[in-house]
Structure 1
Amino acid sequence: MNQNGVKMTNTFDKKSAFRAALIGGASVLAMSAAPAFAQDDDDAASDDKVIVTGSRIANPSLTGSSPITTVGAVDLSLSNTVNSEQFLNALPQTVPGFDSSSNNPGIGEATVNLRGLGAVRTLVLVNGRRYVSSNQNAGVVDLNTIPTALVERVDILTGGASATYGSEAMAGVVNFILKDDFEGIQLDTSYEMTEENDGEIFNTSLTVGGNFDNGRGNAVLNVGYTDRQSVFQGDRAEAGVTLNDVGTGFSESGSVNIPSTLVLDPSFFGGDEFNFTQALGITPPCTQEGTTLDSSMTYCTSDSFGFLFDPDGSGALPFINGGPNNTRYNYAPANYLQIPQERYNVYASATYDITPTVEAFAQAIFVSSQTEQLLAPTPVGSLTVTVNFDNPFIAGETDVLDLLQQLQDQNIASGFSSSTDSDGNGTPDAQLFTYRRTLELGGRVSDIRNDSFQLQGGLRGTLWDSWDWNLFGSFGQAETSITQTGNVDILLYQAAVANNSANIFEPNGVDPAVAAGFGVTGAIDGVTEKTEISADISGELPQLSSPWATNPTSVAFGVEYREESLSTAGTGLGPTIVGFNQAPATSGSFTVNDVFVEANVPLIEDVDLIDELVFTGAFRRSDYSTVGDVNSYAAGLSWTPTSGLRFRGQYQRAVRAPNIGELFQPQVNGFPGVSDPCSGGANGAYDGYDASTQATVMANCIADGVPSAQVGANLQVNAQIQGLFGGNPALEEEVADTYTYGVVWEPNFVDNLAITLDYYDIEIENVITTVPSQTVFDLCYVSGISSFCNNITRGPGGQVSIFNSSLQNVAALVAKGVDMSIDYSYDTAEWGTFGIYSLITYQEENSLQSLPTESPVDCVGYYGATCGEPTPEWKYNTRFDWSMGPYGARLRWQRLGEVQDDLFQDGGTPNLFVEGVDAYDQYDLTLFYTMNDNVYWQFGIENLTDEDFVIIGDASAEQSNTYPASYDTLGRTYFGRVVLSW
């Protein structure tokens, strides 16, 4: 198998182990010729031991039973991939995770999400070993810390692999194989920019390597730098205004938190609209054409529920909530469409032959990455402020003062206020229920710096010619420092308004010094550490081999120890701070001791209809300090009836132990509105049930310890009940059963053709999720699920004293579908080599069952508030290659099938202007030229046809009016690259 090209295959057999090198070619590290699209069998044959992702056995004849897709260095190069998630998100097997467009939501990280089952269920490895995870998202590797300049290839394995690698390998494995054993000097530099002259990305890396001590050792050093410039949503017309789907089209939407302060009429809470009198001299614009104001209290428009101060500070206008003339605040332009990034990386590796059979190896990676999240200025909403009538900023503004007096009269009449001097300072005032945007503090900026390093090394060697052993140790650390500016202390803000120092009556009216007084900076600092020690041995056991097979049984045994810790200092901001979400301090650690065994057993070989029949099996026992002992195991078969045709199948029992954040995030108190099913009265739920449900609830309440005489009585005197929210140290492991069945066909009558077809079925139970507060009570007393009753604590009289709504093991996930690959190349005498490679995925099911009592929600064919990123039934990634001598070209075609808004699920009939998105096609073109052994040039265009911006609108609950990780938002982009080698 050529490990530089994208392939969905495995080593096939001894005769054609690497024959599938059809599209890929020479390593970018040795760019002495144009990337080749075919390779002779003789050149590909090798007796070297080959480690196949998904196995611990080193064996050149290993026949794998799990499908693997390989992305090579050439593929990353020809797509000008600077961050690996760019390429991975384009593969049909993935649903985009966080990437360069993830501003909100987003935490400055890049993740990979196989099959849409969550990034926490995709295990990311580096050189087959675990890599230190991010401390912002415990248990998930930030792909920003793995610069693509170091990558030789990326293997993507479908299905569970816990028996081989341990926890997290449920949806699959992404294994980054890094470059080593390099001789020479290479400078690799690229630059890209959009057709709008923005979004620049500059990337350069220098690699130096060579042998020493007469070839016994090799050392490689790589240093790299990346600078990615920002693009704002306001830089693209389609993303610069927040759009709302109103059925007949889009309306410009936004926030009620406006720069010049929105004041709500208290009568709004009773269902009335705000009203004005013409006597105030106000002639506002109205959404209903022809509506005028007279001296009586007349509604201006059904879309107004308050007023705003005129931007020039001289009066007041009605707040228009909807329509083309609405006065909402457009927060979109200030948000990033492409987040900026600056990254430095250093990579060093060395190997040394201590003896002919023992080699020492070491590797070090250091990455420093700085990104930024930018949101619109902080909204200070739903806040009551006191405005004195002697406020100097409205002195002499008769209209405004009359309006405030009128409003205060209504406040007293409605009970919203009880006095004309609410603060008792001797000056009449008005209490205003307001919404405002603090432009004076600027946008909310989250400056995120990630520094990570991984050190690993060990010894490896051979015994008795057919056995390989490894002693390995590693230590990794990821340190994150986040500074968040633009937050507001609402108590200090209220005080600044009440003491007449803050001018909230016009945009940017607050003096910078005053604004600095209520502005607050938050900081989050955290460290994740990972330590791993392992030893394994693999080799052949002829004495346990099948009598009907020529090749012996191969086995691997090993032990591993791993320790992970997380310590995060929270923002340190109290409950009176608004702006960025609060982050609690988290601290915890766990250890795990593993033992594992793996076998590759040729059962039958070289008989009619069975050229080869191989059994593979694996077992791992893990002892966690948190969840205790867990077992994972695997069994597979590979059957080759004749040369060129192979059938394969694999079953895996995979597990995922809860990560540190899920276990140890502090539990905090909250007081949500909940109705106790055991209680009657105004606050309880019992009186609202029918007789049959009441009988069920009564039995379950009594079983939970509520006195029978109290069931249905007024047990709940308050509408809110104290609850606990956060991590849960009692969480159990998630469990998955994964199945893959497939066929690999390389027909003997067609040269250079390989076709694979694989079915996957991944079913995960005990999934960790948050259960809504009311649901905790309903599942216990209405549905009768006793495990949820354990989360509710009652006093002797039956009253609820506290309940726990922390993370629980209650959900289920299912992903089913078919992957197909077609790989073909053709050599011509006059026109060079042509090739085509296509990856196709058909998704049969991608469902979430959030609770045992609910039906699964299948998201195939949908996007939206429930399903998130588009999950089309069909996804394609195809490339067309041509090379002749030093010249070559590649055309890439990516297609996402049609999808529909998930509001249409289960027969829903929402009134939407955009009901779905047609199939989306994107084309990228790369041209390359190898000038000589020392110089390589590359030029490319992404989004060659400049596809239209896919506008969905905010009904999708996404950012930028679309899904920027799925659909291109920057437009046509150009890039160039040069590689100099000595």
Structure 2
Amino acid sequence: MPERGGRGVPAPNPIPERLSRGAFQLRSLQKRDWKVTNNFKKTARFGLGVSAASIALSMVATPAFAQTTPAEDTTAAESDVIVVTGSLIRNPNLTASTPVASVGENEISLRQTTNAEQLIRDIPGVVPSIGSNVNNGNNGTSLVNLRGLGFQRNIVLLDGQRVIPADFNGAVDLNNIPVALVQRVDVLTGGASTTYGADAISGVVNFVTRPDFSGMDLQVQSGITEKGDGNQVRVDVTLGANFDDGKGNAILSLGYQQADPIYQGDRDAGIFGIGTTNGVAAGSSFTSTPTGISTDTADFQISPDGTSLVPFYQGFNFNPYNIFRTPFERFNMFGKARYEISDSVEVYSRGMFSKNKVSTIIAPSGIFGVPLTIPGNNPYLPVGIRNQLCGFAGISAAACPTATIPLPAVYRRTVEVGPRISEYITQQFDINVGAKVNITDSLTFDIYGSHGESENTQTQSGYVLNSRVQQALNATNTTTCLNTANNCVPLNLFGTITPAQAAFLNGQSTITNKTELSQVHGVLSGDFGFTSPAASEPVAFAVGGEYRNYTAQRIPDILALVPGELGGAGGAILPLNGGYDVREAFGELIAPLVADKPFFHELTVEAGVRYSKYKVDTAGSPKFSATTYKFAGTWAPVEALKIRGNYQRAVRAPNIGELFAPVVTGLTNLLVDPCAGAAPTTNANLRAICLAQGAPVGSIGAIQNPSAGQANVTGGGNPNLQPEKANSYTIGVVLQPREFLPNFTLTVDYYNIDVKNAITAATPADIINACFGNITASSATSAACTGIRRNAANGRLSGTSTATNPILGLPGPLTNNGRLKTDGIDLALNYSYDFDVVKLGLNFQGNWTHKQTFQASSTAYARDCVGYYSANCASIQPEYSFTQRTTLSFDSVDLSLLWRWIDKVEYEGAASDFLARGFTAANRRIFSGTVTGPSPLAGNTYDFNRIKAYSIFDLTTRVSVTDNLEVTLSAINLFDKKPPIVGGTTGSTSYNSGNTYPSTYDAIGRRYSATARLKF
């Protein structure tokens, strides 16, 4: 993860006028061309080749366009093509016991989203993951995180089939889902490994596309915020045709989506970084301008007149450089076709291609605690500063002018180089060809094969090359370096860096990630031809096998390979090359036992089993196997009431990254270091521990907390990992009192998921507590303490880790020692009533999460982050949340109001068990009071320890202008609800940004969207 993007930077002077309110001058430096380029021709050729099987059929089909009507939200049983989420048995007359929440086409249309992640994120029970509102920490993808158990523990499907993952962690990028063609989204939570294989521990998200579409559907959408920024555009055209008297159907969909960035400096909440512990709008890190130098005993900064070193006094405002929403551009093509060769055989194919570009923009690079040297006769070195540096190093006054003077740890924000920009360009294709053979009227064999490839190229620009910093300091005149390689330009570290100097320091690095997935899947489904004496439907089954082969590569360039070479980019990025394949056999059974009898309107039982055998593509790596199974049942004593339940054993095999990622030093979140400040001077055992971890003697009493709340952490893959095992069960009721309350449905489901042998790394608090939790009993020589390694220059847990000064920080290896548990209740309610003049539609989806605990090992604390936020808890997971939509439908107009509600949450230190969580009475609370400093929020009172319950309202009007033209208008965040303010380093870097949590709360403000949809 990159440096906190300005996040870790010290407090600034008031923002220069040229940077105020979003940094207009900065914008010219960061401007990106988000228009169609000539590269699209190359892209289109590539995509058309990939989708040839599907698109060829659509080209030869005779146009037989028919007018289509607005689609209503439907269930799987109402579709011509049956796509059941949660079971491989495709019988529309049988209902599975697994609860599935569906978002239908009507809701998708009202939301006017340009990206599937934006739609999924608001479903209660889904915790916001990496997406468009994550800047520092975004890897160019949009992911889904069900139940807060991690994006790697759920599967994303397209029409019930796996698609190519976007990275070596096995996650599917939602940026590549063709939203225009999606008929509904099914979200199944709880184990589904028996049906879909590994990774489905927390559930499945299945995007179901429209079947047998015939006609043309053109959608043009545009959106903009009330402040005039953040423009979004989406254009999609879908063509479909039936041919050969309905034996065949072909669909082709082309799309383009684009979104502009929204800068934190353009919103009052984010214009200035606010200290989490003091409420001062002044930044929080030591990397600033002018240059800072840290010694064993003190931190200094160049004085305003540039002649001496004085105690640190001035930070840096990084916020205007950062963004609340990442810019995004995508081209996509999707084609699918089917053809009935005979009454018994149907062939089908699907091809999809997408090319998308996501950019993250963070504050300028710099020199982050790097030990350097400088000649005493360097022309830019003021005499007063030179003499002070020689004094620190014990160099005599006589030797000082010609000596090589050490600079123990240098901090300098290189604003002259410009912001750091990571541009992620992803090209992905996935093709699928299959056939269905009707062996008998009740027996079908379905087989398909698919292959997908994804290539993600990250180009990092605006980074300082630390090796060139040292080269440029080794100069005795203003024109020539001692080493003239690369046309070296001497560096003025003690004043303003000139454009020529900045150009020499600036570096660009490229990292390419490639993944491939090949799979073959075959299933025989139908019924046994016999029926229980008390039932009306036969016993149904599905049996089959599946083969999947995954490979992944990471290819960094030479700059990314060198530890600490790119200033503020975290640790080295090392090559990765690995893969594995899996062979599986599975079976499912649904047996209706009783139907239409007193107290037994329905009684159905289900069972399933899957055996998986994995082979890892590395010599000496262990092979492993896993068996999953499920038991389920449905009992309806009367037609209006159904009781359902299921129990599942699920597994998740380690992914390629968890197995093969090299061990490197990166960054994690840690606000308070026990060795910081004066505490080690008054506690002998604490002092001994800090020294045993590598802190120099002279630093005791002067060690600072990690810069920007980010400490170094060292970890990587583990080839000895074994599969996770999870037990999950759900039990619920479905109420449909059709006789006395028609068009009403209520579902209530309790879920419980327990993941053992979880592949995890300990949280920063767990690592710190293992050593410092009981300071009187801790041994300085224990592994828990000596595993933590400090900066040899100043004792800190942060700084640029190099080969000569490795700052490993906290140990974070992956193990199978973790345990995850969560449970809660989902509630869904739907009701509609026709008043003749107007039709009322009500929809409610709510979630109560009782707990979601993570335990790093059997002896570690079981941390529950539900209802809490901190650096130990990633994205916010409230205890209660719901969405509620009210729609009034007139003859040709729909008026709809969406209410999204999130329960209150608190800072983790407010928990009653704060001591066990690693907090002390002194540090369990952060700032509460009046914000000060040069921020628009100054003078306002905030309590960073608590976020009140939060509501957002969206108003949408949809008008059928003609039979073929529909216009939808929306005001999103209708009442311009402001985001809660919690400070700049309260939580994890990815989710706590711009003094708030922009993935959970609306940091953008009121905005408007309009869509015109033309259908024939």
Question: Which residue is 2:108 aligned to?
Answer: 76
* Cα distance, 1:576–1:356 mapped onto 2, change above 3 Å: same
Deviation string for 1:937-958 (max 9, x for gaps)? 1100100010022111124222
Question: Which residue is 2:587 aligned to?
Answer: 597
Does residue 603 of structure 2 align to residue 613 of structure 1?
yes
In 2, the alpha carbon distance for the partners of 1:393 and 1:668 equals 36
* Cα distance, 1:605–1:75 mapped onto 2, change above 3 Å: same
Question: Which residue is 1:917 aligned to?
Answer: 947
Identify which of 880, 890, 893 aligns with 1:884. 890
Look up the SS of the partner of 1:456 in the other structure: strand
Count the aligned residue pairs: 835
Does residue 561 of structure 2 align to residue 580 of structure 1?
no
Does residue 285 of structure 2 align to residue 270 of structure 1?
no
Counterpart code for 1:972: R
Deviation string for 1:632-665 (max 9, x for gaps)? 1000010010011100001010000000011111
In 1, the alpha carbon distance for the partners of 2:730 and 2:212 equals 35
* Cα distance, 1:129–1:391 mapped onto 2, change above 3 Å: same
Identify which of 146, 162, 166 aligns with 1:134. 166
Correspondences of 1:444-455 after superposition (within 5 Å): 444-455=420-431
Question: Which residue is 1:169 aligned to?
Answer: 200
Does residue 796 of structure 2 align to residue 769 of structure 1?
no
Does residue 115 of structure 2 align to residue 115 of structure 1?
no
> Offset of 1:410 from its aligned partner?
2.9
* Cα distance, 1:860–1:430 mapped onto 2, change above 3 Å: closer
Does residue 952 of structure 2 align to residue 952 of structure 1?
no
In 1, the alpha carbon distance for the partners of 2:757 and 2:554 equals 27
* Cα distance, 1:973–1:717 mapped onto 2, change above 3 Å: closer
In 2, the alpha carbon distance for the partners of 1:841 and 1:669 equals 38
Look up the SS of the partner of 2:471 in the other structure: helix
Does residue 905 of structure 2 align to residue 896 of structure 1?
no
Counterpart code for 2:953: Y
> Offset of 1:595 from its aligned partner?
0.4
In 2, the alpha carbon distance for the partners of 1:521 and 1:645 equals 63
> Offset of 1:60 from its aligned partner?
1.4
Counterpart code for 2:606: T
Correspondences of 1:145-184 after superposition (within 5 Å): 145-184=176-215
Equivalent residues of 1:891, 1:925 under 8 A apart: yes
Equivalent residues of 1:893, 1:921 under 8 A apart: yes
> Offset of 1:979 from its aligned partner?
0.7
Question: Which residue is 1:306 aligned to?
Answer: 300
Question: Which residue is 1:938 aligned to?
Answer: 968
Identify which of 541, 553, 556 aligns with 2:539. 553
Look up the SS of the partner of 1:736 in the other structure: strand
Question: Which residue is 1:227 aligned to?
Answer: 258
Identify which of 638, 645, 660 aligns with 1:649. 645
| Higher Cα Rg, which structure | 1
Counterpart code for 2:552: L
Look up the SS of the partner of 1:493 in the other structure: helix
Equivalent residues of 1:367, 1:453 under 8 A apart: yes
Question: Which residue is 2:121 aligned to?
Answer: 89
Does residue 848 of structure 2 align to residue 817 of structure 1?
no
> Offset of 1:392 from its aligned partner?
4.0
In 2, the alpha carbon distance for the partners of 1:218 and 1:770 equals 49
In 2, the alpha carbon distance for the partners of 1:951 and 1:642 equals 51
* Cα distance, 1:171–1:576 mapped onto 2, change above 3 Å: closer
Identify which of 731, 746, 758 aligns with 2:749. 758
Does residue 634 of structure 2 align to residue 638 of structure 1?
yes
> Offset of 1:388 from its aligned partner?
4.9
Question: Which residue is 1:828 aligned to?
Answer: 835
| TM-score in terms of structure 1 length | 0.80
Question: Which residue is 1:67 aligned to?
Answer: 99
**Please, what is the CA RMSD of the aligned residues?**
3.2
> Offset of 1:516 from its aligned partner?
2.9
Look up the SS of the partner of 1:445 in the other structure: strand
Identify which of 600, 621, 625 aligns with 1:629. 625
In 1, the alpha carbon distance for the partners of 2:72 and 2:119 equals 20
> Offset of 1:148 from its aligned partner?
1.0
* Cα distance, 1:489–1:184 mapped onto 2, change above 3 Å: same
In 2, the alpha carbon distance for the partners of 1:124 and 1:357 equals 31
In 2, the alpha carbon distance for the partners of 1:619 and 1:482 equals 41
Question: Which residue is 1:538 aligned to?
Answer: 525
Does residue 851 of structure 2 align to residue 851 of structure 1?
no
In 2, the alpha carbon distance for the partners of 1:391 and 1:212 equals 80
| TM-score in terms of structure 2 length | 0.78
Equivalent residues of 2:630, 2:649 under 8 A apart: yes
> Offset of 1:317 from its aligned partner?
7.6
Equivalent residues of 1:128, 1:175 under 8 A apart: yes
Counterpart code for 1:862: Y
Look up the SS of the partner of 1:492 in the other structure: helix
Equivalent residues of 1:182, 1:218 under 8 A apart: yes
Question: Which residue is 1:276 aligned to?
Answer: none
Does residue 385 of structure 2 align to residue 404 of structure 1?
yes
Does residue 550 of structure 2 align to residue 564 of structure 1?
yes
Identify which of 357, 363, 367 aligns with 2:344. 357
Does residue 1010 of structure 2 align to residue 976 of structure 1?
yes
Counterpart code for 2:830: D
Look up the SS of the partner of 2:558 in the other structure: coil
Question: Which residue is 2:999 aligned to?
Answer: 965
Equivalent residues of 1:553, 1:600 under 8 A apart: yes
* Cα distance, 1:553–1:34 mapped onto 2, change above 3 Å: closer
* Cα distance, 1:406–1:688 mapped onto 2, change above 3 Å: closer
> Offset of 1:105 from its aligned partner?
1.9
In 1, the alpha carbon distance for the partners of 2:79 and 2:243 equals 25
Does residue 498 of structure 2 align to residue 515 of structure 1?
no
In 1, the alpha carbon distance for the partners of 2:587 and 2:1005 equals 51
Question: Which residue is 1:733 aligned to?
Answer: 723
Question: Which residue is 1:331 aligned to?
Answer: 318
Question: Which residue is 2:881 aligned to?
Answer: 875
Look up the SS of the partner of 2:875 in the other structure: strand
In 2, the alpha carbon distance for the partners of 1:36 and 1:53 equals 19
Counterpart code for 1:647: I
> Offset of 1:630 from its aligned partner?
0.5
* Cα distance, 1:947–1:317 mapped onto 2, change above 3 Å: farther
In 2, the alpha carbon distance for the partners of 1:95 and 1:652 equals 22
In 1, the alpha carbon distance for the partners of 2:818 and 2:352 equals 37
* Cα distance, 1:126–1:48 mapped onto 2, change above 3 Å: closer
In 1, the alpha carbon distance for the partners of 2:71 and 2:694 equals 72
Equivalent residues of 1:387, 1:432 under 8 A apart: no
Does residue 403 of structure 2 align to residue 369 of structure 1?
no
Counterpart code for 1:865: A
Deviation string for 1:525-547 (max 9, x for gaps)? 1210000101111111134x433
In 2, the alpha carbon distance for the partners of 1:256 and 1:421 equals 30
Deviation string for 1:902-958 (max 9, x for gaps)? 122244442431211010000001101111221111100100010022111124222
* Cα distance, 1:45–1:899 mapped onto 2, change above 3 Å: closer
In 2, the alpha carbon distance for the partners of 1:641 and 1:77 equals 37
- Percent sequence identity is 33
Equivalent residues of 1:56, 1:598 under 8 A apart: yes
Look up the SS of the partner of 2:853 in the other structure: strand
> Offset of 1:391 from its aligned partner?
4.2
In 2, the alpha carbon distance for the partners of 1:260 and 1:552 equals 79
Deviation string for 1:682-707 (max 9, x for gaps)? xxxxx979xxxxxxxxxxxxxxxxxx
Question: Which residue is 2:869 aligned to?
Answer: 863
Equivalent residues of 1:840, 1:876 under 8 A apart: yes
Counterpart code for 1:924: D
Equivalent residues of 1:309, 1:506 under 8 A apart: no
Correspondences of 1:680-695 after superposition (within 5 Å): none
Identify which of 435, 452, 471 aligns with 1:459. 435
> Offset of 1:421 from its aligned partner?
4.8
* Cα distance, 1:765–1:477 mapped onto 2, change above 3 Å: same
> Offset of 1:579 from its aligned partner?
2.9
> Offset of 1:870 from its aligned partner?
2.0
Question: Which residue is 2:4 aligned to?
Answer: none
